[in-house]
Amino acid sequence: MNMKFNKNEDHNKLLVSSLNHKLKRVKLGGGEKRIEKHHAKGKMTARERIDFLLDDKSKAIEIGAFAGEGMYKEHGGCPSGGVVVKIGYVSGKQCIVVANDATVKAGAWFPITGKKNLRAQEIAIENKLPIIYLVDSAGVYLPMQDEIFPDKEHFGRIFRNNAVMSSMGITQIAAVMGSCVAGGAYLPIMSDEALIVEKTGSIFLAGSYLVKAAIGESIDNETLGGATTHSEISGVTDYKATDDKDALTRIKNIMDKMGNFDKAGFNHKKAAAPKEKQEEIYGILPKKRSDQYDVREIISRLVDGSEFEEYKEGYGQTIITGYARIDGWAVGIVANQRKIVKTKKGEMQFGGVIYSDSADKATRFIANCNQKKIPLVFLQDVTGFMVGSKSEHGGIIKDGAKMVNAVSNSVVPKFTIIMGNSYGAGNYAMCGKAYDPRLIVAWPSAELAVMGGTQAAKVLAQIETAAMEKKGEKVDEEKEKEVFDAIKSRYDEQTSPYYAAARLWTDAVIDPLDTRKWISMGIEAANHAPIEKDFNLGVIQT
């Protein structure tokens, strides 16, 4: 291996090491002291509950582990958004599990908590995937109630989705393993089946203090809304469990009796590992985001047998398209090519840029995959569409619009992996979050922004220094550099994959070596939902 490969490898392995360190910290939730207090009450933590429930915790993927990262500092933070969400297997059935983390502000709902819960329900709805709620929450975080309570995508949408999923026949099971108060009390009762844990679980619209203040009645919380009350008097819950493990075991037993589901019928054969070493991705992916590389080298380390049937190989070469298998599932791959390429006309095209011919090819390929019912995988490392008079006169906007149209109207499941750059309209055309990928994840090397940090900082610095000069302030080279560096630092922070993951613009930051697992489990989930509409591009400019 050459020196450049070794430098790339060292850099990317350090990024993965940093990722694992961040994940380890996030998984502590509210911290070790709060975990100890939680255990002292005879309760398992949210992550312990999920691990006990799943058949094999290693065969699971976590959605939104970095939700809330770096946010709400003035409120003490909100690790993982105060809720843990995983896709895994319970009694052999693939499902999504949502568990409130009561070590984080007693499981209270921050704005990002609501967004993450809605994302979990969106995944369940899109894929018709069973969903299990492990409830242990103090309800809305009152100091931020205006950002979580009244709007369309706020707290109330959760219960609306409960009702919609029920009408769709999507299985919902809820276990009340701690507090379940106020509006949150509706979630378990709007599920198909509800369990409650004796002594630790409670459900009520208003707790004992509020009842005393409102109507003058003196009553303790257990009598008001504990397990015995709701299992034997009100009939609100269906099962009473003696402790957390008993409740989780009962859920396993319920899942074990579930019948089979109608399948979408995506093509699947016996899986095969790539022939090329997957670990070599670390050495191929450049340390510098501006460096060139051949994306086919990445593809060959992601697909079964390293076999890739390329579509229109000699045309539109800054996007690579073709068919392959990932963990046995047939997929269509749309990938940005980061090599400078030469056309048959002798013209040079920059890697990572979408040209008219590339957009045209991708549009056609996406249509083919929809025709054949083949899920799409987008590998993003894109700086945007080509600019300049030649591109404008050649109709780059028209060809880009066709590609965006095809991505938008695609009816097969889409999965997006942000390997490197994800800038501007390139993010959109390559199936960014706004285009409904079933799952979207970033490698630690990813950068998401409207444009590159240096470009953006130069533009913003010019505007800022011009404004300063208008006010009569002296702006010399040193001052210009100071302004540029400050803007560049702020902008670089915002392009980080962790900044995006904190706001759920992506579902996760993952080790590149976990990519096959994410795509495979994503397609398996999508296979629960038969495609119910035809692919139609609508009106496009030709």
Alpha carbon distance 324, 68 (integer Å): 36
**Computed over its alpha carbons, how large is the radius of gyration of the chain?**
25
Paired residues of 99 in beta bridges: 84, 134
Q: What pLDDT is recorded for position 30?
A: 94
pLDDT tens-digit readout, 488-514:
777 778 899 999 999 999 999 999 999
pLDDT at 413: 98
Res. 199: pLDDT tops 80? yes
Res 483: pLDDT: 74
Numbers of helices and strands, H then E, in the chain:
20, 20
Q: How far apart are CA 425 and CA 434, in angstroms?
A: 11
| Model confidence band, residue 398 (pLDDT cutoffs 50, 70, 90) | confident
Task: Identify the band that residue 443 occupies on the pLDDT scale cut at 50, 70 and 90.
Answer: very high
Q: Indicate the pTM of the whole model.
A: 0.93
* Mean predicted confidence (pLDDT) in 301-308: 98
pLDDT digits (tens, 9 = 90+) for 243-270: 999 999 999 999 999 999 999 999 999 9
Residues 169, 478: Cα–Cα separation, whole Å: 65
Q: State how far the alpha carbon of 462 is from the alpha carbons of 72, 457, 510, in Å.
A: 32, 8, 36
Higher-confidence position of 480 and 32: 32
Q: Is the pLDDT of residue 207 over 90?
A: no
Secondary structure string (H, E, C) spanning 83-95: EEEEEEEECCEEE
pLDDT one-digit tens code per residue, 101-153: 999 999 999 999 999 999 999 999 999 999 999 999 988 888 898 888 888 88
Predicted confidence at residue 453, as pLDDT, reads 66
| Gap between the Cα atoms of 154 and 56, Å rounded | 33
3-class secondary structure per residue, 418-460 = EEEEEEHHHHHHCCCHHHCCCEEEECCCCEEECCCHHHHHHHH
In this prediction, residue 99 has a pLDDT band, given cuts at 50, 70 and 90, of: very high
Q: Which of 332, 404, 402, 401 is nearest to 368 (CA)?
A: 332
Q: Give percent of the chain with pLDDT exceeding 90.
A: 70
131-137 and 414-423 as β-strands: parallel, antiparallel, unpaired?
unpaired
Residue type, 275: K
Q: In this structure, what token pair is assigned to residue 265?
A: 């019928």
Give the tens place of pLDDT for each residue, 19-38.
999 999 999 999 999 999 99
The H or E element that residue 346 is part of is none
pLDDT tens for 316-369 read 999 999 999 999 999 999 999 998 887 777 777 877 899 999 999 999 999 999
- How far apart CA 259 and CA 247 sit, in angstroms, is 21
Q: Tell me the mean pLDDT in the region 65-70.
A: 96
pLDDT band at 181 (very low <50, low <70, confident <90, very high): confident
- Helix ranges (DSSP H) in 169-277: 186-189, 208-215, 221-225, 227-228, 244-256
Q: What is the pLDDT of residue 347?
A: 75
Please name which of 142, 165, 166 lies closest in space to residue 155, comparing C-alpha atoms: 142
- Indicate if the pLDDT at residue 183 is higher than 70: no
Q: Name the one residue in this structure whose structure tokens are 């006169």.
A: 393
Residue 302 C-alpha from the chain's centroid: 20
Supply the mean pLDDT for the chain.
91
pLDDT band at residue 165 under the 50/70/90 scheme: very high
- Sign of dihedral through CA atoms 33, 38, 42, 47? negative
* CA atoms of 411 and 31, how far apart (whole Å): 43
Q: Is the pLDDT of residue 59 over 80?
A: yes
d(CA 321, CA 392) in angstroms, rounded, equals 24
State phi, psi for 310 to the nearest 5 degrees.
Answer: -80, 140
